[in-house]
Structure 1
Amino acid sequence: MLFMVEMTVNIPHDMPAEVAADIKAREKQYSQDLQRAGKWPHIWRVVGQYRNVSIFDVQDNEELHNLLSGLPLFPYMDIQVTALCRHPSAI
């Protein structure tokens, strides 16, 4: 199943810089592992924001939920999920 996932990151301003840097490093590794595994085939940055639009290719809602909740930045994210299906006019 394909899902469009919009993630906005809201790291607290009072979080120590070294803590934020550690979380971001773990986030990068986790997301790149999912990309290599084919679960996260597309990710785009939204210009001027700490936000991305991504496409996930997973078995079902539960797998998506588990992958998203495993993101190290998950506690600091606002996430919107949209299920996708192939458009009949697509070639």
Structure 2
Amino acid sequence: MREFLVEITTTIPDGTSQDEIDRRRAAEAVRARELAATGNLARLWRPVGELRSIGIWRADDEGELHEKVLGTLPLRPWMTLTVTTLGPHPNDPGRNDDTR
């Protein structure tokens, strides 16, 4: 699997009911746990004071990432994504023999 740095900004459309927002957020939490269990979601952060997320996601390629991983998130229709494909760096202190 390849790794991707994904920046996510979620903008809730004007006029969306609080019930719809709550329903989607609850479903999003469930889906994130499922994707973590399958190894597709490795890490997720929220910058302090910001309403966006930054994460390390995994998929075989960018097409799969968009279609079968990020595309399955309940909040995806409200998301703006920036995806950066990551590769190994020779000076990575966490690098092991499997990444060479």
Q: What's the TM-score, normalizing by structure 2?
A: 0.85
Q: Which runs of 5+ in 1 are unaligned?
A: none
Residue in 1 aligned with 2:51? 50
The total of aligned residue pairs comes to 91
Moved over 3 A (4+): none
Deviation at 1:88, TM superposition (A): 1.0
How many percent identity over aligned positions? 34
Alignment of 1:51-90 (within 5 A): 51-66=52-67, 67-90=69-92
Computed over aligned residues only, the root mean square deviation of the Cα atoms, in angstroms, reads: 1.0
Structure 1 Cα separation of the partners of residues 26 and 64 of structure 2: 23
Q: Which has the larger radius of gyration?
A: 2
Q: What's the TM-score, normalizing by structure 1?
A: 0.93
AA of the residue aligned to 2:86: L
